[in-house]
Amino acid sequence: MSKATEQNDKLKRAIIISAVLHVILFAALIWSSFDENIEASAGGGGGSSIDAVMVDSGAVVEQYKRMQSQESSAKRSD
């Protein structure tokens, strides 16, 4: 056998082994995805939920301006 034919055979064998290992890897990934059990819960992980309040930034700005005008009018009246 010539050296080129030997290298060609080694390359073919390496490609076949790589393809077989890739197929096994993908099969294992697909198989493991079937075993995953996802429970529908509020956030998952069984942790505690928290209460949150959404703040309207426009209302906060209005209230700040109102307080500033009240303070300035109180200073003027003194």
What is the per-residue pLDDT across 19-78, written as a single tens digit (0 to 9) for each?
999 999 999 999 988 877 666 655 556 667 788 889 999 999 999 999 999 999 988 887
Q: What is the pLDDT of residues 41-50, one digit of tens each?
A: 555 566 677 8
Task: Show me where the domains of the chain are located.
Answer: 1-35
Q: Cα(68)–Cα(78) distance, rounded to whole angstroms?
A: 16
DSSP codes joined into one string, 62-77: HHHHHHHHHHHHHHHH
Position 76 scores a pLDDT of: 86
pTM to 2 decimal places: 0.43
User: How many contiguous H segments (helices) and E segments (strands) does the chain have?
Assistant: 2, 0
